[in-house]
Structure 1
Amino acid sequence: MYRYSLRKRVAIAFAICVAVLSVLWGFAFFAAIRLTEDHVLQHQLQRAAQSYPDISTDLRGYDNVDNLPESLREWAQTNPAEGFYEFETEELHVAVLSTDNEQSRAFLVFDVAEIEAASSEDWWLLLVITGVVGTLGALGFGLGIVVMRKAVAPVAQLAKAVADIDPEKLSAEDHKRIESSRFGDDEVGLLAKTIEKTLERISAFVERERYFTSSASHELRTPITVITGALELLEQSDLSAADVKALDRVRRATLDMKTTIEMFLCLAREIDDGLYDEQFLVMPLVNQAIEQQRYLLSSKCIDVEIDALVKPKVCGHPQAFSIAVNNLVRNAFEHTLDEQGQITILIKEHELLITNQLSSETDERQAPTATSSQGYGLGLGIVQRLCERNGWSFSLLAADKRVVARLSW
């Protein structure tokens, strides 16, 4: 479409603009000179016509200083050098000439008092010239804009095409709009080709992500469902105390596996049917997490205190919030040793605080801080990502032999 590169097109456009403006300014100055010349001649003819038939002239020659106008005599007696002189007050232009007598000078006096325009005419002439200059300036500015827009039109076209593309909903029309062959073989075409390849990679990645999540959701949950059904059948059988304990361990492991699968699938989904704008209550999800993880405290003398100051609602993904709370509760239950005091869960209007005690200075040194939550439970990094996806914030602080997990919304 374009024969020259973007750099050459900009240079050519600038050169054309400068050339056109130079020609216009040249014509303007030429017109101003001719206008001034015509103006002076018109005044001379007008004065001659007024004195007709006795035509007087404003140009006179003098070979004697005493014959000069009175205002010039004192100056002429100083024996000025040859040349041209102007006396603005007297409105006289004087040329000093040499003669055969080296001791004397000849004077040519030109009286311009009747030729120069009046002050009002000067202002009108200045106004006309200013208007012409302003018009040329505006014309040059407009011409520059038009020429530069024409030169960078492919860049603007490419930017508009990219702005109209939704990366989450790529279509065949989007790929056609950004096709590199539409922009020529230059810098813009190279940029369009790079964007085109990037969009193709994004499309392939999104397609793989959708295929994986849809397949993994079925393939990973089916064995969990089968195991859960088998456990329910076993519970109806006559089991010994040892078998019951083993069955409980299998049930808990199955529940943990189910939670982990849901957690990773929740993070893997790019779009989740608008569930990120759902409103839900916090308290039921907290109670559910405590009941699911209470088995971790079965062999510990530890109380769990829930202090619900309010009953807040959260806007976001309920499953993501449930996974986050489950991870925080599980970490608190697992890392609190026997007889270390109670675990406190405080629910406020815009935040959830889970506090557990540390046993010793060693535990305190190994505990996480607000800037580093790695190593304190597998799910803390996942909790952080879930919060980022939903616009929540998560922090973990260890101080005064206790750990405080804070989830705010």
Structure 2
Amino acid sequence: MAAERAKAEASGQPWNDPDAVPYIRIENVTKKFGDFVAVNDVSLDIYRGELFALLGGSGCGKTTLLRMLAGFEQPTSGRIYIDGVDMADIPPYERPTNMMFQSYALFPHMSVEQNIAFGLKQDKVPAAEIKERVGNILDMVQMRQFAHRKPHQLSGGQRQRVALARSLVKEPKLLLLDEPLGALDKKLREATQFEIMNIQDRLGITFIVVTHDQEEAMTLASRIGVMNHGQIAQVGTPKEIYEYPNTKFVADFIGSVNLFEGQIVEDEPGHVVIACEETGRPIYIDHGISTAPGAYCWVAIRPEKMELLKTDPGSKSNCSPGIVKGVAYMGNLSIYLIRLDSGKEVKVTMSNQRRAAEHAIDWDDRVFVTWHANSPVALLS
């Protein structure tokens, strides 16, 4: 057991250590606004030093859960513990947390330096220490040269850095970020994601990020909690969430996926066979799923795990004929829309490995969509 714990800690995955103590423990938390249930019986463990993402669509409860951690909302029922302390009677200003809001909420009449120093002055930190800490954090977010500018003189990305610096300068044990990159354009958002990761790694602070952006969550987070209708649908690493979704909702919400309805006709320890009218031929999966034959299920296959062939490979399974009804060139890859003979439409993505390569497959071509036996994921709900 000691060897397993050491391995889990060394790999930076305390959630795989059964003896690890969570830094944040959310126990059966429910939040109601009148008759509306915003958060429904959520239990969740988050560990010290994690960069955890709460991911979901609008109205799923992720921001409400974040605000309860910060103390701005009180649970209707359930308990929240931070570092072993019950937060029930602890007001926001006494919690070991800081929150960076989506709007950044910078003071327009203050300079960058004054905005960052504001919280320290409120806490009556000595002037010399304020100067040192503000200077250090300005260097960390690469904003020292803009220290005397006002917020209106900054770009969106620069204002985002100031808001992050103001949140970090008080050295919270837990930083809560509500849609922190939503106001940035795609290129700046991607660059800022890596800056946040580097800062979090250097400081070792626990970060919880709320976002509706799947790519942002996949890039930033050590683990992701996918939320749906006030509940946690699945918690896992980005790879686990993407490769092994546990429900149709998670598979459909994360990235692009092709979903097929089918019926399990054979389930052995080493393989599963699923009859599927939409593909025309059975779907063969090279591992068992522990359910009774005859059960209905969904089968999820990612577009990049499919391949297009111009000739029929003659496979009895994992092959479906169709017609190319659309081609989108995206630079690094091309997306093909295929209408299968059943009428079902699927997407297939193929990388463009050679510059200006002639497309061997084009509109209205007859093709055969194939996939490996370990690519599909069978979902029972």
Higher share in helix: 1
Say yes or no: TM over 0.5.
no
Q: What band does the TM-score fall into relative to the shorter chain?
A: under 0.3
Q: TM-score, normalised by structure 1?
A: 0.21
Higher share in strand: 2
| Higher RCO, 1 vs 2 (CA within 8 Å, ≥6 residues apart) | 2
Q: TM-score, normalised by structure 2?
A: 0.22
